[in-house]
Structure 1
Amino acid sequence: MLPEFSIVFRLFSMSPVLLSLPAMPPLFYRLARRQFSPGDPSGEFSDQWTHPSDVFSVLLILGGDVVGRALAQLAGSAVTPVAFSFGWVSFAITAVVSAIGENKLMPLPDCACKVINGRTGYVRDNSSWIIGRIVRDFGSWMDGGRRNGPIRTHLCEMLDLRWEKDKTVMEKKEPGSGRYVARPSQAGLCVSLYKADRARPGYPGYDFAYFIGFATSVLQLGIAAIPCGIFGDWSILLVTASGIVLSFATGSLSQWSKEKWACRRNSEKTVVLTRGNGSQHAIVVIGDGKGLDLEDLAAGPTNVDVSASHLTRIVVILLAAFWILLLITAAGIRQNTWFLLSIGGIGILQNIFVAGWRRFPEAFGVPLIPAGVIGKPKVMDTLFAVERAYPGLGRSMLDTFFPGKLRPDEQKKWDDPAELARSLEAS
């Protein structure tokens, strides 16, 4: 309170007029005597940004889903290099709930798709992380990463045919309007065929996404060593090293591999992977006695007894306890906390990169050999062409891409083998 204001207030409060008035409430005196310090918030902000406290411990409980997806991407071998980062404590608690309540660790796929049996036509909703990523990333690996591969070239031809047809229709309606028709972004159905090569269950995919985890951990340790070497502050190095050990230990559990490849091997089945009715692509995988049973794999861990064992549950609980202890320890660091935040930021960037990285099927132990492509500007014509090349395969996809009632002429073609043969010859 300013001295001048204090003197005036005391004189005013001791005047006879004021003393004759009823007593004022205590709130008035508290307001009159309050400290008015507009400079305090700026000082607090400055201290927080100079030595941010408790921020790292809060960030450790955010972003657990990113950590789970990164682990699902790289899990398989004894070493899963997912870097120490924000979100690990949250994931550790979630893993305990999943291991005890759901008997599993693998997250659900982040791409909805269907798996169709090429012989029976039975459709199964996918719950496999591997199949979901194969379908999600198809645009990047379908031609081996080439921009002018056979599938892309065939798809461009389909789009051009559809475009020419649309322009012709518009010209008939109004001469000269065809040039205003935009090139379509989707046309008919493009069926890509692959033969399965020898499957490699447990293969984590030794690619860039895998090895960058080791480089990130080394960089984190290097940053943590700076305050130790300059100021003698070894607390950040201790927290970082402990976090790296715990993150690698969590990813090394064999339960990850059991759930990720929970299916039979050396399958003869032919299956179709697709996002469903209205999608541009359908991926046909011919088992050929070498590949995984993708229909089994689509069912997830429910089709094979790969429930988390008692030992796995105990280990997951112990790891969660260690992560909580690390959280408590990190909350006590008050100096050089920017180093710790940098370490966590680098780690979460690696987690995000790995979780979203587009990988080829062989990185999941499912190598595929291209075997051709079939596609027409109309979906029904594509199914007819597939049926001609692979009897029974086109029919197996019919209910998925045409769930409603067919036109009489279309139904006749599928019901009458002779009529179907004539339509196939015509196409």
Structure 2
Amino acid sequence: MAPTHLTTAIYNARSASNNVNNVTGTTADYFAAQWMNPSDIFSILLLLGPEVIQQAVAQLAGCRITPVAFSFGWVAYAVRALLSAVGDGRLMPPIENTSTMVISADHGHSWTTSSWILGRLLRDISDKVDKEMSGEAPHRSTGTWSDWHPSFWRSILFCGHTPKSAEPKPPTQPWEALRIAIYEVADEENIMHGMPKKDAIWFSGFAVILIQLTIAMIPWIIHDEWGTFQITCYGIFLALLGSSLPQWRREKWACPKKGGPTITLTEGNGSRFAMVILGRKGVGLHFPILARGSRTAPASLTTRLATSLLAINWIALLITATGLQIETWCEFIDSFF
């Protein structure tokens, strides 16, 4: 009896999925077939690097739409987000620098903060300051320039006549024991406190999404293969939904937005940098409450249901992407944008 159309379709699908196994020849032929059409690479990438996704969403979260592109690690992150929402009720990542200290100017009390956004703020400003202080003179508690600088020993080596080419120039920037940067809250109508600025980095997310869609359309245009485009579109849709949950905004800016006292951010004893934020009544965030995390709301029932549905859909996308055995290079390239 002749096979039905369904049997023929199943047979063709299985034959296409075994593109590497169908190769007959040397080991080089197998390697060439795998590099021509890599199989199962995209599905593996979806399970790697959930921390990257969480950090990226936390960095851009705050608006109604968070433009985080479809990339590797989303499936693993979706499962982690579900466990966090059902467990401790948090979507924001833990603070990276656990030694970040907050000192209140009102009563002088200090404590370590668990706020991810304050830790990231201090880290970024500290890196900028360290770069500015990279050309300073080395720290010496005693002695003069000639006592410790290599030019002093060069003069002895050359019998008191140091060549000009061997004489280094003294550093123009003196050594700083402590640098304090002072910032004040901006009081302008066009600035919304607790809302990220839509700069070039924020809009670059939409540019990356457009590039992904363009690459995914190439197999559809050339070979009439629409599976890559469908998987990319659905992945982008799920990524935008997962990164735009209102819970992100509630956790990231968990404090009143009617001003607060002055605080100092530092890494404690031994740190050479301190960051002072001058508080203003009625304007800006209440940084002590944000630092303590006392107003952080746990995940709502809506957030838990949303993360559950997103995790199910991401797993379904993973299963679907595993069955894609043709034009896999486009999906592989899309996952790195």
Fold shared, TM-score > 0.5 on shorter chain: yes
Query: 2: CA distance between counterparts of 1:72 and 1:124?
Result: 23
Residues 139-165 of structure 1: CA deviation (Å, up to 9, x unaligned): 4667xxxx9xxxx6xx799x56966x7
The 5-angstrom pairing of residues 105-124 of structure 1 reads 105-112=91-98, 113-124=100-111
The 5-angstrom pairing of residues 177-188 of structure 1 reads 187-188=176-177
Partner of 2:305: 314
Q: Helix, strand or coil: the match of 1:116?
A: strand
Relative to structure 1, the CA distance from residue 95 to residue 217 in structure 2 (aligned partners, 3 Å threshold; closer, same or farther) is same
The 5-angstrom pairing of residues 26-425 of structure 1 reads 40-112=26-98, 113-139=100-126, 166-168=142-144, 171=147, 176=152, 187-198=176-187, 200-289=192-281, 290-300=283-293, 303-346=294-337
Asked if structure 1 preserves the Cα contact closer than 8 Å seen for 2:85 and 2:307, the reply is yes
Query: 2: CA distance between counterparts of 1:243 and 1:219?
Result: 14
C-alpha deviation, 1:46, in angstroms = 1.7
Q: Helix, strand or coil: the match of 1:345?
A: coil
**How many residues are matched?**
295
C-alpha deviation, 1:186, in angstroms = 5.5
Unaligned runs of 5+ in 2: 1-23, 156-166
Query: 2: CA distance between counterparts of 1:162 and 1:305?
Result: 43
Question: Which shows bigger deviation, 253-262 or 267-276?
Answer: 267-276
Given residue 272 of structure 2, which amino acid in structure 1 is its aligned partner? Q
Give the root-mean-square deviation of aligned CA atoms: 3.1
Q: Which structure carries more helix by proportion?
A: 1
Query: 2: CA distance between counterparts of 1:274 and 1:202?
Result: 22
Question: TM-score, structure 1 length as denominator?
Answer: 0.63
Asked if structure 1 preserves the Cα contact closer than 8 Å seen for 2:69 and 2:205, the reply is yes
Relative to structure 1, the CA distance from residue 169 to residue 227 in structure 2 (aligned partners, 3 Å threshold; closer, same or farther) is closer
Query: 1: CA distance between counterparts of 2:134 and 2:90?
Result: 43
Question: TM-score, structure 2 length as denominator?
Answer: 0.79
Query: 2: CA distance between counterparts of 1:156 and 1:119?
Result: 34
Partner of 2:21: none
Residues 97-125 of structure 1: CA deviation (Å, up to 9, x unaligned): 11010111011122331111123221121
Relative to structure 1, the CA distance from residue 90 to residue 236 in structure 2 (aligned partners, 3 Å threshold; closer, same or farther) is same
Bigger radius of gyration among the two: 1
C-alpha deviation, 1:197, in angstroms = 2.2
Asked if structure 2 preserves the Cα contact closer than 8 Å seen for 1:76 and 1:202, the reply is yes
Identity %: 38
Given residue 198 of structure 2, which amino acid in structure 1 is its aligned partner? Y
Unaligned runs of 5+ in 1: 1-37, 347-427
Given residue 291 of structure 2, which amino acid in structure 1 is its aligned partner? A
